[in-house]
Amino acid sequence: MFEIFTSPDAWVALLTLTFLEIVLGIDNIVFISIAANKLPQKDQQRATNLGLLLAMVQRIILLFAVSLLIGLKNPFYYIHWSWLDTGISWQAIILFFGGLFLLYKSTSEIHEKVELPEHDEDSLKAKNITTLSKAIIQIVIIDFIFSIDSILTAVGMTNGIGNKPGDALILMIIAVVISILIMMVFANPIRIFINKHPSMQLLALSFLILIGFMLIAEAAYLSHTKIFGQEIGAIPKGYLYFAITFSLMVEFLNMKMKKNVNISREAE
C-alpha cells in the first residue's frame, strides 16, 4: 500500500502539494475566521476547528469522487476530423475542464487580489451569522468552493505517480490531512505570515496556472490526441517541480534581502 513512498517523485509531490494546499488554504482560513468572529467568544474556536475538520472530510470525499472518474480511462466517443484525432474519456474530460477551471480561477483570483483585495471579505461580513449552526453551514459552503481548485491541484500534482491506481489517491489524502492539521494548529501565525508576504499567495496562484496548463496537456496526451497529425506528448512533472522550487527560492531570497534592507534602515 505504501510502496509509493520508495519513490523520490512521490516525496517531492507530497511536500510540494502540502505546501500549495496550505498557501491556497489561507483564503479559507480568513473566511472561516470572519464567519467565526461573528459568533459569541465561547463558540469562535469551536467553529474554526469544526469548520476545518469538515473541510478535510469534504475534500477527502471529493478526492474519492474525482479519482473514481479519473479511473474511467476508456474512451466512450472518438473524434476523427481533418485536423483533430482524439478519444474522449471521463478521465480526459475531468483533466481538461479541470485545467481550464484552474486557469480561470487563478487568473481571476490574481486580478481580485490585486484590484479588489477586500471584495470577498466585505461580502461575507455583510451576511447575518448569529448561531454556530449558521456559521458551520456558511463555512461548509465556502470550503466547497475553495475545495474545487484544491482538489484539481492535487490531481495535477499526483496524476501518473505510482504504479498502482490508488497510489496517487493516498498521496492526495495525506497532503490534505497534513495541510488541514497544520492550519488548525498554526492558523493564526500562517495568516500573519501571508499577510506580511502577500506575494507568496500570488506565487501559489501562479503555480495554479502551470498546473492548469499541465492538466490540459495531460488530458490531450492520455487521449492520444493528434492536432494536424502531431501527437501531443507528456510533460514531465520534473519540469513543474523545478519551476516551483526555483520560484520559491527566488521569493525567499527576495524576502531575505527585503528584511536585511529594513534592518539596515532601522540601524541608520
- 100 domain residue, yes or no: yes
Q: Which amino acid type is present at position 250?
A: V
What confidence tens digit (pLDDT) does each residue in 55-86 have? 788 888 888 887 777 777 888 888 888 888 89
Residue 191 lies in a domain: yes
Q: Is residue 82 included in any domain, yes or no?
A: no
pTM to 2 decimals? 0.69
Confidence grade of residue 118 (pLDDT, cut at 50, 70, 90): low
**Could you give phi then psi for residue 216, rounded to 5 degrees?**
-65, -45
In-domain check, residue 78: no
Tell me, yes or no, whether 80 lies in a domain: no
Tens of pLDDT, residues 196-219: 777 777 887 788 788 888 888 888
Give the Cα separation of 268 and 264 in Å (integer): 6
Supply the range of the domain harboring residue 204. Answer: 3-73+87-267
The pLDDT of 223-236, averaged and rounded, is 85
Residue 147 counted as domain residue: yes
Judge residue 160's burial from the number of C-beta atoms within 10 Å of its C-beta, 0-12 exposed, 13-18 middle, 19 or more buried: middle
% the chain with pLDDT above 90? 0
For residues 68 and 65, what is the distance between their CA atoms, to the nearest angstrom? 5
CB 39 within 8 A of CB 132: yes
What is the count of structural domains for the chain?
1
Span 145-174, mean pLDDT?
74
User: Cα angle vertex 115, ends 139, 36, to 5°?
Assistant: 20
Domain assignment present for 252: yes
Buried b (16+ CB within 10 A) or exposed e, 182-208: bbbeebeebeeebeebeebbbbbbbbb
Q: Express each pLDDT in 91-104 by its tens digit.
A: 888 888 888 888 88
Mean pLDDT of 152-170: 72
